[in-house]
Structure 1
Amino acid sequence: MASVGQVIFWSIIILIFIVAALIIILLCVAFAPRQASTVQTGEPFPVGNLGNDVLLDCEFDPSPANGKKAADASVTWTKDGLPGVVYLYENRAPQLQDQNPLFKDMAQVFPDAVANGNASLLLRSVITEDAGTYRCSVVAPSSQGTVTVNLRVAAFSAPSFSETNGTLTAVAQKWFPEPNVTWSNRNGSTLNATTSLSNNSMGIFRVVTTLSDPLQLDSIYICTIQNSLVRSVTQATVEGTDIFTNTLFSFSSASSAMIPGQALVLVPLLLGWLLC
């Protein structure tokens, strides 16, 4: 007959194996292949220009199924931290009884676009308070899922150029957050310039920047204005008394950094994946 000590010993061993098996099963479930969502966005981190309209991209598979078409899709837009919906499109019509008052007459989903698998949301005349995390949920004949769009709001404008007494000046009417300005020539060499920033009651900056060196005719100058969200690069080509400009805007993309200690969590997860 086994002693009490042996019974306890084997009970502990069996318990350890049971717990280990449960952990492995949970890890296998966590790492099991999942069906890719058919609802997606091409721009998860858009930047809206203060006072202008912005489109939050959301797309889904428009294939028909069970006698229904993409036009029969239900599209729900919400914003984290706000009650109600930003916009609800259902039964081929907007359903705005529960719309948050902040978005009344300010948000729009387009039925013709929905019929083609486009559930994008138009926000009109964005303000800084519109920034945040939006969620687009779609239930369609061949699609179902939710995608997140993180809207950032800035102010930016292309500069205009003028020549006075042989010097070149660029003026940009609105920038936010506060920008930095640099000048360079076509070879990439940095040029000296003086820049002044003035902000209005809303905190929007007006940029006035002037090259320190005398203007050279038939030359190309590059003025770069940028902040944490937006970068504008304007090429100014001086030809005689004329100045021709071309501005390109680019926007920052958000990236996630590893949380301290996250690597320690990944070790057992990787082990579980290997055991599966």
Structure 2
Amino acid sequence: ITERMLRLKAIVLGVHLVSTGPVSLTLFFGRNTFSVSTEELLAYPFTDVTLSCHFSFVKDTENLEFSWIREDIKELVYQFRNNTEQLEGQNSLYEGRVSVDRAEISEGSLSLLLRNVCFMDEAIYTCSAVTPNGRGESKIKLIVEDSEMPQVHFDRLDDEDVAMCISKGWYFTPNVTWLDRAERDLSNHSTVEVLEEQMNGSYRVFSVLKYRVKLNEKYVCRITETDV
């Protein structure tokens, strides 16, 4: 959308367009500010993620009301009003898994910490806030990946060059595939070991490729969850 088109839309809506950008739009309604933004966030299963939300008109918790809503089912994820959390009506999927750092509210941050991400969490979330100084809305799309391609590092092991990768995500049944520049499957020449284990039985792993590794060659390490 061009800046000219946005200004035309603002005229039709009867508002004054203050600023535009690739992911945000800020409008003034009289004395109040209404901010809308959208972004995407990638996460891996069984990790903790922060859904960002920030408004410049939020200065403290007095007379502040804000909430996080999951768009596809229109249900409450988190709510704050009357200077305290209000979790009645919270969707059961998020019970005990979400929180907002009150110490950061005075800086305008209403970001939501979501713990132990699962595939069912993938959705668009809306953060809405209202104060005497303004109101705003911010949307974020959470995408839960069932695979990743971590960065490949070179090292020396037993006097030979090797390629290594470490998973960021957690997996119940991780499958590691190694490919070279020609997309030949070198996985049979690799090893996979557990780096960390969680109480729920999921793992972070690291893998080592030993097949005639050349430092000027391109290698791809792909880790997938085979038990999805």
TM-score range relative to shorter protein: 0.5 to 0.7
Compare relative contact order (CA 8 Å, sep 6+) and give the higher one, 1 or 2: 2
The match for 2:80 is 89
CA distance in 1, matches of 2:55, 2:11: 29
CA distance in 1, matches of 2:51, 2:158: 42
1:103 aligns with 2:94: yes
The match for 2:30 is none
- What's the % identity of the aligned pairs? 18
Cα gap change, 1:71 to 1:47, in 2 (>3 Å): farther
Tell me the CA shift for residue 222 of structure 1: 6.2
Tell me the CA shift for residue 139 of structure 1: 0.5
The match for 1:29 is 12
The match for 2:54 is 59
- Whether contact under 8 Å (2:63, 2:82) holds in the other structure is yes
Q: Over alpha carbons, which structure has the higher Rg?
A: 1
1:194 aligns with 2:186: yes
1:196-230 CA deviation, whole Å, 9 max, x = no partner?
599xxx9x997856354356xxx677654469xxx
CA distance in 2, matches of 1:91, 1:98: 16
User: What does residue range 144-159 of structure 1 map to in structure 2 within 5 Å?
Assistant: 144-154=135-145, 155-156=147-148
TM score, norm. by length of structure 1: 0.52
The match for 2:164 is 170
The residue type paired with residue 164 of structure 2 is A
- Whether contact under 8 Å (1:74, 1:90) holds in the other structure is yes
- Whether contact under 8 Å (2:179, 2:187) holds in the other structure is no
Cα gap change, 1:112 to 1:208, in 2 (>3 Å): closer
TM score, norm. by length of structure 2: 0.62
Greater per-residue helix proportion: 1
- One of 45, 51, 66 as aligned partner of 1:50: 45
User: What does residue range 203-218 of structure 1 map to in structure 2 within 5 Å?
Assistant: 208=207, 210=209, 212-213=211-212
The match for 1:77 is 68
- Whether contact under 8 Å (2:58, 2:106) holds in the other structure is no
Greater per-residue strand proportion: 2
Deviates more, 1:130-139 or 1:43-52: 43-52
- How many equivalent pairs are there? 188
The match for 1:136 is 127
1:26-45 CA deviation, whole Å, 9 max, x = no partner?
9962586446255455x710
> SS at the partner of 1:149?
strand
1:131-157 CA deviation, whole Å, 9 max, x = no partner?
111000111232312111000112546
Gaps in structure 1 of 5+ consecutive residues: 1-25, 185-189, 228-276
- Whether contact under 8 Å (1:131, 1:151) holds in the other structure is yes
CA distance in 2, matches of 1:49, 1:71: 36
Gaps in structure 2 of 5+ consecutive residues: 1-8, 19-25, 28-33, 193-200, 224-228
Cα gap change, 1:90 to 1:162, in 2 (>3 Å): farther
Tell me the CA shift for residue 81 of structure 1: 2.5
